[in-house]
Amino acid sequence: MVRPAMLTTDLVRARVVKGEVRPSFIDAADPALIDLAETLVKLFAAHVNKPRGALDDALSELIGEDTDFLLHRGLAKLLEDRSEFGTDAPIDPVALRQKVFERTATQHPVSREAGNPLHPVTRAQVLAEVGSELGLTLEQCERALYADLAREQLFQKFDPIAPSALLHRYNLSLAQAVLLRASSLEIELSPGDPQRYRQLFRFIKFFRLLYAARGSGALGYTITLDGPTSLFQLGAKYGLQMAEFLPALLLCDGWKLRAELLWGKERKRLGFSLEAGSGLRTHYADRGVYITDEEAHFVKRFSETAKGWALDKRPEIIDLDGRGVLVPDYVIRAEDGREALFEIVGFWRKSYLESRGELLAQHGPKNLVLAVSQRLRASEDTLESMPGAVVFFKDVIPVKEVLARCQEVAVVPAGASLAAAARAAKSPKKAPKKPAKPPVAEPVDEVADEPPASAESSPNPARRRRKSS
């Protein structure tokens, strides 16, 4: 999977106007820019299986000191994020250098060229001797000696992209780079398709963002997200999660975004705004929602060990008296028909969980079980307990403990008798028909990407699994 494409701070093109940060978006339909993007894509493709240094030199020659240096370097950075480089050597270069330096020390000084009567031992002789001991030719030894240095790494793989898609990705990356400086972010969602709401809240949970929401399906929702600069720790990782959430928001219609930023070295308080129709394009495939490996592992272990219980992915938005919403990840159902709601909490800090716990205690369902990861604590404060049925864990969600909590809080669904609920729990379910999805902007890549992998997943942080809506 392509790693997240992100612009670094030094490549962000933006200006400040009346207290607002305005990224210097480009016209993705500009013929000159399309030609430039095509040239860069072809240049990268032509350097596959060559040293990285050769690519760097070609880029320097192409870009030079052009007035649009930041734009050109930014486009190149996005292409580098679609590239894979690796060390191509028959032996570990570090181990080889150690052997060569140890051998050189016994015969120091060593000449680079033959014919020096005072220092007859040459560099080539030392490499040949060490190489012979390791079963390498002089050429292999020479090539492997510094093969792990950046310029010597082999350009192994490149994932090409259409020129117009690259330009659209550049605009999106500019907006994402700005959000990395956000202290808070507020999203206004107009009334729309409930399925689209559920999808967006699931993306928020997938990226494990700290959020609060109020509103309803009839009136729309206001979602407030904590920004990465507001966190004491894990800010960089959390910032990438927030930036990677933006393409998911673009799948929706009728939204407005307002962020408060701490901008520049002086961390000046500025604003940033976006809304639907701004011209930004998503590259996420509109295929539903995704689950982390941590969640997938829980589902697998549940199916293997939870006898007498069923796990149901039933997406719903529960209103918390207009002061917030609850989007449970699962309904856990006992054989007798009783049900418990189960939510996996993402990034958190003590104040967030305490206020969230208070809201749930007052207005939330009484059959809710929360799973809270200690690894995603984003503040110095610890929280070992909180009101309600809560399971704290470090790496793997403990199925046995979750079921024990479910046993304590599970209730018969409203409006059903215990006998009727038990019969419903045992009867096979027909697959629900999927509602028609509203039209959204087409992804800009020929093959749309899935959401990027997060650095905070468990057990394997490099993968994510897709789950339908």
Asked if the model's pLDDT at residue 461 lies above 50, the reply is no
Mean pLDDT value of segment 372-397: 74
Q: Is residue 10 domain-resident?
A: no
pTM above 0.75, yes or no: no
Average the pLDDT over each of 225-229, 320-324, 399-403 and give the range with the smallest value.
Answer: 320-324
- Proportion of the chain above pLDDT 70, given as a percent: 81
Going by pLDDT thresholds of 50, 70 and 90, the confidence category of residue 418 is: low
Q: Is residue 159 domain-resident?
A: no
CA separation for the pair 279, 285 (Å, rounded): 17
Three-state DSSP class for residue 117: coil
Q: Is residue 137 domain-resident?
A: yes
Strand pairing class (339-345; 368-373)? parallel
CA separation for the pair 279, 16 (Å, rounded): 20
Q: Which residues pair with 421 in a beta bridge?
A: none
Note the pLDDT of residue 216.
Answer: 75
Going by pLDDT thresholds of 50, 70 and 90, the confidence category of residue 234 is: low
Phi-psi region of 115 (alpha: psi -120 to 50; beta: other; left: phi over 0): left
Mean pLDDT value of segment 122-150: 86
Q: Is residue 421 domain-resident?
A: yes
Asked if the model's pLDDT at residue 148 lies above 90, the reply is no
Q: Is residue 380 domain-resident?
A: yes
Closest CA to 413 of 398, 401, 423: 423
**CB 174 within 8 Å of CB 7:** yes
Query: pLDDT for 236-253, tens place per residue?
Result: 788 888 889 999 999 988
Query: pLDDT for 202-217, tens place per residue?
Result: 788 788 888 888 887 7
Mean pLDDT value of segment 340-352: 81
Average pLDDT, the chain: 82
Note the pLDDT of residue 434.
Answer: 43
Average the pLDDT over each of 32-36, 142-146, 178-182, 318-322 and give the range with the smallest value.
Answer: 318-322
Going by pLDDT thresholds of 50, 70 and 90, the confidence category of residue 123 is: confident
Is residue 378 packed enough to be buried (19+ CB in 10 Å), middle (13-18) or exposed (0-12)? buried
Q: Is residue 206 domain-resident?
A: no
Residue 156: its H or E element: strand 154-158
Closest CA to 182 of 226, 138, 143, 145: 226
Is residue 391 packed enough to be buried (19+ CB in 10 Å), middle (13-18) or exposed (0-12)? buried
Number of folded domains that form the chain: 2
- Give the residue numbers spanning the domain of 404: 289-426
Query: pLDDT for 60-111, tens place per residue?
Result: 999 876 668 899 999 999 999 999 998 888 888 898 989 888 888 888 787 7
**CB 60 within 8 Å of CB 69:** no
Q: Which residues contact 61 (CB under 8 A, 6 or more apart)?
A: none
CA separation for the pair 392, 382 (Å, rounded): 11
Tokens read off for 196: 């689209």
Note the pLDDT of residue 439.
Answer: 39
Asked if the model's pLDDT at residue 398 lies above 80, the reply is yes
Note the pLDDT of residue 230.
Answer: 73
Note the pLDDT of residue 3.
Answer: 56
Q: Is residue 318 domain-resident?
A: yes
CA separation for the pair 239, 177 (Å, rounded): 9
Note the pLDDT of residue 455.
Answer: 38
Note the pLDDT of residue 379.
Answer: 59
Query: pLDDT for 422-460, tens place per residue?
Result: 555 555 554 444 444 433 444 444 444 555 544 333 333
Q: Is residue 391 domain-resident?
A: yes
Mean pLDDT value of segment 155-180: 95
Going by pLDDT thresholds of 50, 70 and 90, the confidence category of residue 120 is: confident
CA separation for the pair 77, 8 (Å, rounded): 9
Closest CA to 390 of 412, 406, 378: 406
Residue 268: its H or E element: strand 268-275
